[in-house]
Structure 1
């Protein structure tokens, strides 16, 4: 990889643009209360009450209901929050947003250096920083990110996203550094931390290797020959994941809870779920924090069309890896990161969850920006007047899109302003969601409004009887 050109004075402002956009989009996320799974992970979690000795915070509860079970790095981050501000929810929201903004900067760095790689530098040249900024802006302010950022305990997704991007960024930096081993060591450490944050980190070593093959090396053999130590270190994170899974109740809970839900039925259902994710990436409405009522695909009408669409997308990704490797890498990024939760291993308690798109959304943002750049390049010729027009037109479209997405994100954050607001939002959008109705009834019960609690809960009984 050729070394990137030095940033101009204007380009040095890009990180501040990203930070400013992210702060605006999530400025009203600081006051939402702890909700749902926050209770087990924070409010009644005894292991976050002290930072010393550190192994206490690194030993999260092993109960099925606790999302931090088997995720010691997430639990440690909660202990840091508790040490700094107790149960003041603002500190937890600020921590989440800080992680998200750091990830945005890393995504910018990864995309910028990729566009300045030897295989792409000739096409994009001095546009690389601006295209990378556009990708990072869309990803940062997209409303689909609100569940990960604003719902406190979805910090699991934020931390694995941060360490995933940091692993890739450090690996890229090591290629053209005079001290590559320091960068590679940092990549291995980041990968290990990601393994302690969430199981989806299992895809990181594979995607770093694939990135190397697509953008840096002539072949997989060449990649292993040059950076074999890096890949051995990254693969070692699988041992960490394996050990944490053995100690966690999550695999046993999945195995028990999936009785009656076949792997094939789950995979067929996930085809429609992933298509729904893509729809939300393009048109982020309606956003829902809970999909308890997502139907299992068991009939030809619910299986065939989504499966055909998904197989077409998978086929396009495989074709891209052979014929258009950069495009194929985007497809691999999308599908490999979703694979642990959206393929053949049933997660019956959460058939769908918008937070799972936190990292895969980056691929759709890259595709949108690069596709838009290619369309403008095709429509307007390369001569100087058209080149200037293309830049102004592209910049105007970007500003308008980011402004709209950021405003939608602000409005979506407002749905998290109270326990009542978020569960009422779910019920209004998905009336057959039993879990949402029960949580809404529980809210009124805690307020002492027993009659209202019963009224809110009663439809859930009818829904369960009908579904049974």
Structure 2
């Protein structure tokens, strides 16, 4: 083997082990469904449905109503590429997240290795690759990273970390290369890309300057004299971040001041949160997807945590002068955590483990280098930790394999979290057998947070599903939600749908549904419900068809909209052909739709030359729904008109009569058949 290849074997082995460790830790994660914020960032995100023009996925203005993709155009573009590749198949998105996570770990390895080879560090060459690999391995398999890898929209954390590491690496290469223009350009490009991924990137230009001062130039003055233009260019990338932040208007009202949480209370809350994060670095259990919205309003409740953080911050400041390498790592930790965990309130999530994705890196590097100074056999506990953390990460994956499992796990570890109870109730409500348990979860959420709008709305939905007896209480839930927020479009829509079931309240129902559509023009569910209500009002068939058209434009895959619209068209003179097209569209979306097969069959029976197709669809309706009275009746009536099919006609009509003995039409048809048999 050539000497050069032998020299590179440790490097090749380190890269291979990092990739293998990431694959082993997350090997069972690819089939987990979209959960939590993925629903708004991916499933309901219309801006990722097309790649061209690029202005659609790269739009700077909010497009998804405050999801993790808003204001992060590069993240949104990556989701659009996933959609172009695999539609809404979750496996493609999860594979992309894992690939990005492993690439970020490799970038961290390259950065640490490059840094440890610098003269100002002075690490023996034999330890350089091993220490860099140990840092990257701990980082890639640590369970605290699992939320960022397993929640698709948290790709913003992964891409930001990748850009952060590459920016520092390219700054180092630019300083060391005889002609560093190419590396400087790459540093500027990756810094700009990071700004288009998440606000966490804001500290990267400062970190690059501090990195130069600590590991390259030796002082700020020397760093500025040698590479001042590079740092000016890096600072200029703040312009893009500023535009993105201003466009978001406080991330669609989810972050910023004046949202009910003061900066002081949020800072107190973050004192408790950051200490929990630090505990999870050392002992990553229990991990919780959603901590809810805990707000600390009395600083005395968190003074021990605040004192600890003040000491750590003071130590980092002291180290910047006395021990610059440790000080640099401390700066990166606090600087990358500050955008989400300082004084700017994020009211939708006051604590989140994914915020530690990038800040975890400097802590683990500091840990590895500290262990190396303490013992010659420092690699042994690191190897044991890598194995243990890999097992813990693999054990975390089953919690993400279904939304029901995830929210059950969250409620178990955060029983005072009203949002977790609400989301668990949503999962349980999908099964009729679990409806009582869902109602109990919604009621528990309202006990914990009486003004929880979504819990009120969802409790109303569950009560409607429980049967007619639950409709009055459901209406009361919707009305309570609307008293709390008169502009709550979903509550208007659901209240209108419930009122439409109550005799004499159809006009009220239509008024609420029209209000829902006015509040939220792109609301296909409300447009669908409004169309159904209008269809019940005499003389409003054309208005109902128009609302169905709007719902279909917004949500073309809504098979029920195609079906009910076709029903109305079938009742209009000369619109049989249009009705047939509507039924066929519904069946393309849902081939196992017995009512659509039945109505398409009856429409085809009225069309010359389509009788065989009509019979086929009616028979399919019966196969899908064996107790379908109307399908048996209509198929029997068709057979009764065909010579030689009297036996089939009688069989179907007798089956229809058995299903509904009080049907006079069925009795009359059978009577005509029997009369025809007499001599």
TM-score (norm 2): 0.64
- 1:363 aligns with 362
Deviates more, 1:449-458 or 1:349-358: 449-458
Structure 1 residue 348: Cα displacement? 1.8
Q: How far off its partner does 1:250 sit?
A: 3.0
Against the structure 1 CA distance between its residues 425 and 323, is the aligned structure 2 distance closer, same or farther, given a 3 Å change threshold?
same
Q: SS in structure 2 opposite 1:248?
A: helix
Q: 2:391 aligns with which of 384, 407, 431?
A: 407
Q: Whole-Å Cα distance in 1 between the matches of residues 379 and 221 of structure 2?
A: 41
Deviation of 1:297 after TM superposition, in Å, equals 4.4
Distance 2:372 2:256 in 1: 49
Deviations 1:34-79 (A, max 9, x none): 0121111111111111111111111274354322111110000000
Per the alignment, residue 373 of structure 1 pairs with 372
Q: Does 1:186 align with 2:186?
A: yes
2:441 maps to what in 1? 456
Contact 2:293 2:351 in 1 (8 A): no
Deviation at 1:315, TM superposition (A): 0.3
1:24 Cα shift? 0.3
Matches within 5 A, 1:21-420: 21-59=21-59, 61-121=62-122, 123-251=123-251, 253-254=253-254, 258-300=258-300, 302-376=301-375, 390=376, 393-420=377-404
Change (3 A) 1:252 1:458: closer
Aligned partners of 1:422 and 1:149: how far apart in 2? 15
* Mean CA deviation greater in 110-119 or 310-319: 110-119
- Checking the alignment, whether the CA contact within 8 Å between 1:297 and 1:303 is kept in structure 2 is no
TM-superposed CA distance for 1:8, in Å, is 3.2
Equivalent residue, structure 2, for 1:384: none
Q: Which stretch has the larger CA shift, 52-61 or 329-338? A: 52-61
**Could you give the per-residue CA deviations for residues 338-388 of structure 1, whole angstroms, max 9, x where no partner exists?**
111111111121111101111110111112111111110xxxxxxxxxxxx
- Give 1:452 deviation, angstroms: 2.3
* Of 123-132 and 135-144, the range deviating more from structure 2: 123-132
Q: Is the 8 A contact 1:47 1:61 kept in 2?
A: no
CA distance in 2, matches of 1:116, 1:454: 61
CA distance in 2 between partners of 1:466 and 1:57 (Å): 35
**Larger relative contact order (Cα-Cα within 8 Å, sequence gap ≥ 6):** 1
Distance 1:256-1:23 versus aligned 2 partners, 3 A rule: closer
Query: CA offsets, 1:74-102, max 9 Å, x none?
Result: 00000000111111100000000010111
| Residues 126 and 256 of structure 1, relative CA distance in 2, 3 Å threshold | closer
Check the 8 A contact 1:14/1:133 in 2, yes or no. yes
* SS of 1:197 mapped into structure 2: coil
Once residues 7 and 264 of structure 2 are traced to their aligned partners in structure 1, the CA distance between those partners, rounded to angstroms, is: 50
SS at match of 1:120: coil
Structure of larger gyration radius: 2
| Cα gap change, 1:229 to 1:347, in 2 (>3 Å) | same
Distance in 1 separating the partners of 2:46 and 2:414: 35
Contact 1:71-1:196 at 8 Å conserved across structures:
yes
Distance 1:141 1:307 in 2: 29
**CA distance change for structure 1 residues 75 and 466 in 2, over 3 Å: closer, same or farther?**
closer
**Cα distance between partner residues in 2 of 1:28 and 1:255:** 34
Q: 1: CA distance between counterparts of 2:91 and 2:148?
A: 16
Q: Give distance in 2, aligned partners of 1:397 and 1:91.
A: 36
Structure 1 466/198 Cα, relative in aligned 2: closer, same or farther at 3 Å? closer
User: SS where residue 8 of structure 2 aligns?
Assistant: coil
Residue 30 of structure 2 contacts residue 94 of structure 2 at CA under 8 Å; is this kept in 1?
Answer: yes
Q: Structure 1's 439 and 255: CA in aligned 2 closer, same or farther, altered over 3 A?
A: closer
Q: What is the TM-score with the length of structure 1 in the denominator?
A: 0.92
Give the corresponding residue for 1:433.
Answer: 417
Aligned match of 1:380:
none
Measure the CA separation in 1 of the matches of 2:293 and 2:253.
Answer: 20
The answer as to whether partners of 2:271 and 2:306 remain within 8 angstroms in 1 is yes
- The whole-number CA distance in structure 2 between the counterparts of 1:257 and 1:120 is 43
- C-alpha contact 2:253 2:259 (8 A) present in aligned 1: no
CA contact (8 A) 1:415 1:421 kept: yes
1:275/1:306 contact within 8 Å kept: yes
Conservation of the 8 A alpha-carbon contact between 1:258 and 1:348: no
Instruction: State how far apart, in whole Å, the 2-side matches of 1:322 and 1:198 are.
Output: 30
Q: How many residues align?
A: 445
Asked whether the 8 Å contact 2:257–2:344 carries over to 1, the reply is no
